[in-house]
Amino acid sequence: MKSAGLVLAAGAGRRMGTPKALVRDAAGVTWAARTARLLTEAGCSPVVVVVGAAADQVRAELSGEPVEVVEATDWNEGMGASLRAGLRSADAVSEAVVVLPVDVPGVTVDAVRRVVDQAGDDALVRATYDGAPGHPVVIGRDHWDGVIASARGDEGARGYLREHDVVLVECGDVADGVDVDTVGELPPGHG
C-alpha cells in the first residue's frame, strides 16, 4: 500500500513564542525537517509539508529535504486549514495519508509503521498512547473528501473521526505522543 506523509507545520506557535516548525531538536534540526524525515524513514512517499506562518523561513529550512511544500494561505484559521490544504495536494496514487503535526516530537518511526500497517484506502487509523488518542492518524483515500468538508478550526479531523469507525493502535510502548505547546514542555535540548 502506498501512503503519503503529511506534516502539519503551518501554525504560528503563539503559546511557544515562535512557529513550532522552526523549533530545533537537540541536533539542531528544525521540527519541520525532523518530522518530514521521520515519515520518509517510515516509508511514506511522497512527504508533503504544509506551511503557513513564517512560510518562507520554513520553506528555506526544508530546501535540502526531499519533500513537497504546500502553503495553507488560510493557516491562521487553525489545523483544519492545514489538513485541508494537505489532503487537496495529496498524491493521486496514494491510498492513504499519514498525518503528523510538527509538534509531537516523541513520535517514532516504529509508531508510524505500526499505524501504517493497518492502513488502506478505506482506513481510519489512530495511534493511542496508554489508551489516549494521538498521532499519527492514517486517513484512507475514501475519507479524504469527508475530512476536507468537515475540517474546521483547530479540530482538524477530530469531529470526523468521532463519527466514524477508527482502528486504534496502541503505540505507548514505542513512542511518546505528547503534543508540545509551550517552551516549558520542550524535551531536553530542544529550543
Range of 47-51, 72-76, 119-123, 154-158 with top mean pLDDT: 47-51
Per 3-state DSSP, the chain is made up of helix, strand and coil in percentages (nearest 5) of: 35, 25, 45
Q: How far apart are CA 20 and CA 31, in angstroms?
A: 7
Q: What is the pLDDT at residue 120?
A: 64
120 or 137, higher pLDDT: 137
**Looking at the domain assignment, is residue 190 inside a domain?**
no
* Average pLDDT of span 155-159: 84
Structural domain count of the chain: 1
**Looking at the domain assignment, is residue 181 inside a domain?**
no
**Looking at the domain assignment, is residue 183 inside a domain?**
no
Element of type H or E holding 50: strand 47-51
**Looking at the domain assignment, is residue 124 inside a domain?**
yes
**Looking at the domain assignment, is residue 50 inside a domain?**
yes
Q: How far apart are CA 115 and CA 138, in angstroms?
A: 7
**Looking at the domain assignment, is residue 63 inside a domain?**
yes
Q: What is the CATH number for 40?
A: 3.90.550.10
pLDDT exceeds cutoff 70 at 53: yes
pLDDT exceeds cutoff 80 at 185: no
Going by C-beta distance under 8 Å and a sequence separation of 6 or more, which residues neighbour residue 127?
A: 107, 111, 114, 115, 133, 134, 135, 136, 137, 169, 170, 171, 175, 177
**Looking at the domain assignment, is residue 186 inside a domain?**
no
In the structure, what pLDDT confidence band is assigned to residue 49 with cuts at 50, 70 and 90?
Answer: very high
Other CB atoms within a 10 A radius of the CB of residue 189 amount to 10
- pLDDT tens per residue, range 107-123: 999 999 999 998 766 88
Helix, strand, or coil (residue 127): strand
Q: How far apart are CA 146 and CA 166, in angstroms?
A: 14
**Looking at the domain assignment, is residue 189 inside a domain?**
no
C-alpha cell at 96: 492513504
Structural domain range at position 163: 3-174
